Amino acid sequence: MSYACDVCSIDIGSKSSGRTFGDAEVCTSPGYWEVAAKKQKRFADLLGGGAAENAYGMFIQQRLHDQNGFTVCPQCAAMIDRRNTQLKEIGLERLVTGGVTPREQVLVVAGVVWQRTMGNWPSCLDSTVRAVRDKVMATP
């Protein structure tokens, strides 16, 4: 049976051919959310921005509740390994040390990446998440 990368969906052969990561490692990786946002951007181009944003919101909720880990291809594994560098590049290097819950970490990263990709803060994330983002980005 052929197995697909849990991030980019390319065929990796068998599950044992991929590399396994925990949910937190993947879901706080800006690169992971960039892949997800770009997929949703394709929907936005076809269906209009609201449909893509709603789908992204549902995807975020699914990620918050999944506890299965990820099996990924070598390219996506390398991207996830660069998580701390990616967080620094988008101003969130203090995210994991700033007293922010794991759930908030996922929401903030997903929101910031969407904003960078689509040009607006996703309406599926409320003002509480924006406040957490602002706190983390302002922390010296």
Q: What are the phi and psi torsion angles at 92 (to 5°)?
A: -115, 25
Domain tally for the chain? 1
Query: Which tokens is 43 given?
Result: 């929907």
Helix (H) or strand (E) holding 42: helix 30-47
For the chain, 140 residues long, give each residue's pLDDT as a single digit of tens: 789 999 988 999 988 889 999 988 899 999 999 988 887 777 777 776 577 778 888 888 888 887 788 999 999 999 999 998 998 888 888 887 767 888 889 999 999 998 888 888 888 888 888 888 888 887 65
pLDDT of residue 32: 93
Range of the structural domain that residue 89 is part of: 3-138
In the chain the beta strands, taken as DSSP E runs, fall at 3-4, 11-13, 19-21, 70-72
Nearest Cα residue to 35 out of 84, 75, 95: 75
